[in-house]
Amino acid sequence: MLGMFALFLFLPALMPFLGGYTYLGTEIMIWAIFALGYNLLLGYTGLPAFGHGAFFGMASYYLAISQRDWTSGLWIPLLVGIVGTTICGAVVALFVARKRGIYFSLLTIAFGVMFWFLVFVFEPWTGGEDGVTGISRLSVGLPGLFEISLRDNLAFYYFVYAFFVVATILLWRIVNSPFGQVIQAIKQSETRARALGYNTVRYKWAVFTVSCAFAGLAGGLYVLARFGAFHEPMSLHQSGNVVLMCLIGGGFASFYGPVLGVAVFLMLRDLFSTLTDHWMLLYGLLFMGIILFMPEGILGLIKRIRQPAAFHDTQAAEAARTEQTVTSAPSNPKPGGSS
Amino acid sequence: MSVSEATSPILETRGLRKAFGGHVVLEDVNLRFEPARLSAIIGPNGAGKTTCFNLLNGFLAPDRGRILFRGRDITPLAPEERARLGMCRSFQILNLFNDYTVLENVRVAVPAMRQRGSNLWTPAGAISEAEDKAARIIRLIGLAGREHVEAKYLSYGQRRLLEIGVTLAGEPEVLLLDEPTSGLGMRPMETLRDLVKRLSEDLTIVVIEHDMDFVLALSHHIAVLHRGMVIAEGPPEAIQNNAEVREAYLGRLKYARATQ
């Protein structure tokens, strides 16, 4: 984790060599917060929510509208974005937490599309296609002591960096906490978790809500980054992107999978779009390849290569040997088969 | 242990009925399970044992009838609520957290862990109460030394033991075992039998089992289901000598023994 933080600390200095720029680094960290929070659902609880972009985008509007119409500050609108998104997520979670498998996915898509349409329904507030523009980043600091303007991209980078560090540590604690153990247990066998006394619906509700809080933070930072709130992050297409980011990086195999996925996703987007106008085609082919040949993502592949194969082989061999003696032993005459 | 006929049962069913579509699987099932005893529910294939078991643990709801735990009507309670009351079930088809190690499997089942389920901050491994309890259980089921092996890499016999360990970790008052010896050969069977025998000394156990040697050797009380109804109840000797039961079920076993 420290390695990752150190890398991002010096990333603005390294970016020119990687063919990037500071703003790309900012974008990576914002999407990484979103993807890490989303991976609580996808990777840790095994809940494939396909409309999560709605919460990311929703936070943008909460922040933008509250800054435009209510208070011109920075912190309160950011908080409005997080709290508003969390509450909205909690309400949606009431409906989706009871659903399983494909029904869960479909319902999250339905909610995602619904929120996206609401942007156009409430056009007088949201600006519809035009979005809410003219958002100011203002400055942070202690009155009278120091003040740093966030208009500068480098300053803003480190502003986002602080949130990225805090969010990553929070999420790391969450996945290793008792709560985190329970959601991973639910992913492996929900029936067993229930038999152990866990109200799995309540846990799924909670994890959905928590992941929405992180989507709210990321969406808020994104609006500051772009000086405006727009509808496209809410579209189904963007909701799909966060799923891809998690999968490519290896969200099932590693906590850091989503971060790597976001970085690869955004950097390739920039790279391919400079190469050809049909960059989406290249992009699509690449992702198909990754899903086909690296189903557990980049970190999943690395993990498998690095794991001492011998350990597993002996284990498997021993298991097979015991199994053989188990089944080959004469068994008692049993009335009937298994019920 | 003075368990007389007058002892009040810890778990009781009254007039249970369950039908799937038009097919009646259980009809008017009245069972009483005394504390600190091992009771077995047996019966030929399709007798309704598994359905009866699922009604007890809450994974199915009866059409009619009630289930009482310590005199309290628990019929409307969900499986997780029953587990929290102290009714813990195992699974016939192994149902473990396969990517978890032995330790993690048992630890997540410990009530001390469950009560901290809303804790988002403390590392799970730092809850010493749960860790100690898990370590005790792992010793009890004889998997000490394999704590850090993922469940999917255990042998089948060890997975059977872990299945019971995970169930035990819930600190049950009533332990519901669904065919604990299913698929086991002689040696692992003996290990498992010893374990269940030790547990039955101070736990109330309700077991569904196919293996007659296991049932006859360990049970204090046997209920025989046949075509959805309880046709006989009593201590093992009485059941063995019950004509109706022999006709329905044991007769075939005796025959099989005689020809062995």
B174 contact partners, CB below 8 Å, separation of at least 6 = B10, B11, B33, B69, B86, B87, B88, B203, B204, B205, B206
Chain B residues whose CB is inside 8 A of the A180 CB are 120, 124
Separation of alpha carbons B65 and B27, rounded Å: 10
Element (H, E) at A268: helix A257-275
A44 contact partners, CB below 8 Å, separation of at least 6 = A175, A180, A183, A184, A187, A207
Average pLDDT value for residue range A104-109: 96
- The pLDDT of residue B102 is 97
- Cβ distance of A195 and B79 shorter than 8 Å: yes
Chain A residues whose CB is inside 8 A of the B260 CB are 333
- The pLDDT of residue A116 is 94
Instruction: Give A291 or A66, the one with higher predicted confidence.
Output: A66
- The pLDDT of residue B247 is 80
- Among B residues 19-48, those touching chain A with beta carbons less than 8 Å apart: 44-47
Separation of alpha carbons B74 and A76, rounded Å: 49
- Among B residues 87-116, those touching chain A with beta carbons less than 8 Å apart: 88-89, 91-92, 95-100, 104, 107-109, 111, 113-114, 116
Give percent above pLDDT 90 in chain A: 60
Average pLDDT value for residue range A71-85: 92
Residue A158 pLDDT greater than 70, yes or no: yes
For residue A294, report the phi and psi dihedrals to the nearest 5 degrees: -130, 70
Amino acid letter, A309: A
Considering only A72-76, A103-107, B21-25, which range has the smallest mean pLDDT? A72-76
Residue A114 pLDDT greater than 90, yes or no: yes
Residue A292 pLDDT greater than 60, yes or no: yes
- The pLDDT of residue B211 is 86
Find the residue in B nearest to A188 (Cα).
Answer: B97
- The pLDDT of residue A80 is 95
B180 contact partners, CB below 8 Å, separation of at least 6 = B90, B160, B163, B164, B192, B196, B207, B209
For residue B221, report the phi and psi dihedrals to the nearest 5 degrees: -145, 140
Which of A177, A198, A327 is opposite residue B119, by nearest beta carbon? Answer: A177
Element (H, E) at B12: strand B11-20
- The pLDDT of residue A309 is 53
- The pLDDT of residue A279 is 80
The alpha carbon of residue A13 is apart from the nearest alpha carbon of chain B, in Å, by: 34
Q: What is the pLDDT of residues A258-280, one digit of tens each?
A: 999 999 999 988 888 888 888 88
Find the residue in A nearest to B178 (Cα).
Answer: A339
Instruction: Give B203 or A333, the one with higher predicted confidence.
Output: B203
| pTM of the entire predicted model | 0.90
Considering only A179-193, A291-305, A308-322, B243-257, which range has the smallest mean pLDDT? A308-322
- Cβ distance of B88 and A339 shorter than 8 Å: no
Pair B113, B124: CB distance under 8 Å? yes
Separation of alpha carbons A321 and A192, rounded Å: 28
pLDDT band at A88; cut points 50, 70, 90: very high
- The pLDDT of residue B252 is 58
Q: What is the pLDDT along chain B (260 residues), one digit of tens a residue?
A: 444 455 689 999 999 999 999 999 999 999 999 999 999 999 888 899 999 999 999 999 999 999 999 999 999 999 999 999 999 999 999 999 999 999 999 999 999 999 999 999 999 999 999 999 999 999 999 999 999 999 999 999 999 999 999 999 999 999 999 999 999 988 999 999 999 999 999 899 999 998 888 999 999 999 999 999 999 999 999 998 888 888 876 555 555 555 55
Considering only A121-125, A145-149, B8-12, B93-97, which range has the smallest mean pLDDT? A145-149
Pair A196, B95: CB distance under 8 Å? no
Residue A176 pLDDT greater than 60, yes or no: yes
> Pairing relation of β-strands B174-178 and B204-208?
parallel
- Cβ distance of A194 and B79 shorter than 8 Å: yes
Which of A196, A210, A327 is opposite residue B170, by nearest beta carbon? Answer: A196
Separation of alpha carbons A286 and A268, rounded Å: 10
| A–B interface: beta-carbon pairs under 8 A | 168
The alpha carbon of residue B158 is apart from the nearest alpha carbon of chain A, in Å, by: 9
The tokens describing A48, both together, are: 């494939």
Amino acid letter, A154: L
The alpha carbon of residue A99 is apart from the nearest alpha carbon of chain B, in Å, by: 17
Pair B186, B5: CB distance under 8 Å? no
Find the residue in A nearest to B97 (Cα).
Answer: A188
Residue A138 pLDDT greater than 90, yes or no: no
For residue B67, the cross-strand partners are B13
Which of A173, A178, A195 is opposite residue B113, by nearest beta carbon? Answer: A178
- Cβ distance of A338 and B187 shorter than 8 Å: no
Q: Does B185 touch chain A (CB under 8 A)?
A: yes
Max distance between CA atoms of chain B, in angstroms, equals 63
- Residue B9's nearest CA partner among B62, B57, B72 is B72
Separation of alpha carbons B112 and A288, rounded Å: 45
Which of A188, A196, A312 is opposite residue B99, by nearest beta carbon? Answer: A188
